Amino acid sequence: MRKRDIIFAGAGTGALLAIFIIVVFVLGEIDPGSFAGLCGGFFALAALSAVTVNQISIRLGGPELNLKILIPIAFITSIIPLFGSLFGLPNNEPITLAIVVAMGAIGGAFWSLPFVLWALIKKTDSNHTTTSPPPSPIVVKNITIKDSVVMGDVSNDEE
């Protein structure tokens, strides 16, 4: 997967996660009942957004995105910046909700950067592996000695 695919997928995951959270908890006014229920709901929506972005990418003919990358991005994005900003949400006006979605997209792109760096380091390590050169072939030469005169090809052109 290319680095820009990871960043765009992270931004898409963050934006979709923000939309899911807004629809379920803000506009739907679903009360999770407890803090554990709220965190569980956030994490379930985070996993759902990661899987959804992966499916959207596949159906649009893009690369299959690694869920080992998208799910952690979604989980971290659900905590920072979305969790805190939704607690301090002043109102339900469309501009406020659009800002939350933008914050989700920016947060997803930001939290995808460690995975981009990891992919970059992993790629450069594989290019700089040290391997020994293949052994030189063994060449057998025929030398005939007659009357103390060496006949045949005894030149050493290969070195």
Residue 84 has pLDDT above 90, yes or no: no
Q: Is 57 inside any structural domain? A: yes
Q: What pLDDT sits at residue 149?
A: 59
Q: What pLDDT sits at residue 59?
A: 95
Collapsing DSSP states into helix, strand and coil, what is residue 2?
coil
Total domains in the fold of the chain? 1
Q: What pLDDT sits at residue 151?
A: 59
Q: What pLDDT sits at residue 98?
A: 94
pTM comes to 0.73
Q: Work out the average pLDDT over 44-63.
A: 94
Residues 6 or more apart whose CB falls under 8 angstroms from that of 151 comprise 143, 144, 145
Q: Is 76 inside any structural domain? A: yes
Q: Is 158 inside any structural domain? A: no
Q: Is 101 inside any structural domain? A: yes
46 φψ region: left (φ > 0), alpha (ψ -120 to 50), beta (else): alpha
What residues does 151 pair with on adjacent strands?
A: 144
Residue ranges making up the domain that contains 17: 3-127
Q: Work out the average pLDDT over 40-53.
A: 94
Q: Is 37 inside any structural domain? A: yes
Quickly list H helices, 32-146: 35-59, 67-77, 84-87, 94-127
